[in-house]
Chains A and B, each alone.
Chain A
Amino acid sequence: MKFNIKINGKAEVVDVDGNTPLLWVIRDVLDLKGTKFGCGKAACGACTLHVDKVAIRSCSYPVKFADGKEITTIEGLSQGGELHPVQQAWKEEIVPQCGYCQPGFMMATAALLERIPHPTNEDIDNNIVNVCRCATYYRMRKAIHRAAEIKSGSNS
């Protein structure tokens, strides 16, 4: 079955089974490898991306629900050659260790900052519940606050 999706601003038509997880359409059909497979049951968050600007766990999101919607992956987070504030902050705070889960964390953080521009530690705890086996949580927390600063232009 054919589905029309706009991915990182580009219109695409994919011909797959409607129950195929969006993650596998993105990785295997559209060849965008930035979004990662972690647990396959929407638990760890490594596969997080945006569907119509909402953070979604793509490993458990059937592609049929993405029909006609706009999807943003880690590859589409920066615009016009400029790093997204989240990417810039991640770089400044040297957040990643192995790095595997980081795209999911960054996409979740980008969605958070759109809704809560200056999150408190409690906001971060409640909204960013992805899993990092390297335990980079401490650096991530600093990077999220830093990203909020950069995004608001208060300390860039």
Chain B
Amino acid sequence: MKKAYLIIPMLLLFVAMVSKVDSFANNDWATSGLDESKTIKSEDSNEKKSEDDVEESHKAFDRMMEVLTHKRCVNCHPAGDAPLQGEDSHVHHFGVKGGEDGHGVPALSCNSCHQVENNDLAGIPGAPDWHLAPISMAWEGLSRVEIAQSMTDPERNGGKNIHQIEEHLTEHALVLWAFDPGVDSEGTPREVPPVSKEDYIAAVKKWVETGAHIPAE
């Protein structure tokens, strides 16, 4: 009887570990070194779990992409050196440039105007580390799938692995600014993404947890 107290929790722990490992099974960047663990489970249950994960992953992807394709994100992931601004994503006034490091040019840095928080008196948006995404992470004009491919490609995303991507998407203050974007210079609240911050964060985490599957075009 005493042995049962030990064996049952160990079995539960084992099942949980196998399940976690399997969640990354369909992506090359996540599977290295995991082949041995995969063989532990039967092929049938593995296939079923994999199918469920893919379906869940695609659902989470859809939800996540409702945010990442929103102008609050894409305006700072332009296809050139000039940021976009406004609800119509026009090119930033006055020829503002992202410059070499995305933080502006030497005498006109982003922080000449944008501080660490919104300035609702002047209608100037702000968040910590306000800057433009590098050109390798340009999203303007890309499809959802192309954005995800760009986002998960270490050659283009600054060498980030999937967990660092998850951290960037769910914890970086500049990313989360999208849900609290303040008002424009007329005092009109800026449009927020169509998904709440909480649901978006949950979707990103679910997408990663279920293998970060990217659907076909």
Please give the residue numbers on chain A whose beta carbons come within 8 Å of chain B beta carbons, in ascending order: 19, 21, 40-43, 48, 54-57, 59-62, 65, 108-109, 111-112, 114-116, 123, 125-129, 131
Complex interface: chain B residues within 8 A of A123 (CB): 105
Q: Contacts A54-B112, A55-B112, A61-B115 hold; do A127 and B105 have CB atoms under 8 A apart?
A: yes
Partner of B121, one of A19, A125, A131: A19
Who on chain A is nearest to B95 by CB?
Answer: A129
Within 8 A of A (CB), among B130-173: none
Who on chain B is nearest to A65 by CB?
Answer: B115
Who on chain B is nearest to A57 by CB?
Answer: B113
Partner of B119, one of A43, A62, A109, A128: A62
Who on chain B is nearest to A56 by CB?
Answer: B112
In the complex, what distance in Å separates the CA atom of A55 from the CA atom of B105?
A: 11
Q: Would you call B93 and A43 a contact (CB within 8 A)? A: yes
Complex interface: chain B residues within 8 A of A125 (CB): 95
Q: Would you call A115 and B107 a contact (CB within 8 A)? A: yes
In the complex, what distance in Å separates the CA atom of A125 from the CA atom of B95?
A: 8
B37 at the interface (CB under 8 A from A): no
B119 to chain A, nearest CB (A): 5
Who on chain B is nearest to A110 by CB?
Answer: B107
User: What are 6 residue pairs bridging A and B, where the CB atoms are less than 8 Å apart in the complex?
Assistant: A42-B122, A54-B111, A60-B113, A111-B106, A112-B106, A127-B107
Partner of A108, one of B97, B99, B107, B185: B107
Complex interface: chain B residues within 8 A of A112 (CB): 106-107
Q: Contacts A41-B124, A125-B95 hold; do A116 and B115 have CB atoms under 8 A apart?
A: no
Q: Would you call A126 and B93 a contact (CB within 8 A)? A: no
B133 to chain A, nearest CB (A): 19
Q: Contacts A59-B122, A126-B95 hold; do A111 and B115 have CB atoms under 8 A apart?
A: no
Complex interface: chain B residues within 8 A of A111 (CB): 106-107
B50 at the interface (CB under 8 A from A): no
The interface bits of chain B over 109-128 (1 if a CB of A lies within 8 angstroms of the residue's CB, else 0) are 10111011001011110000
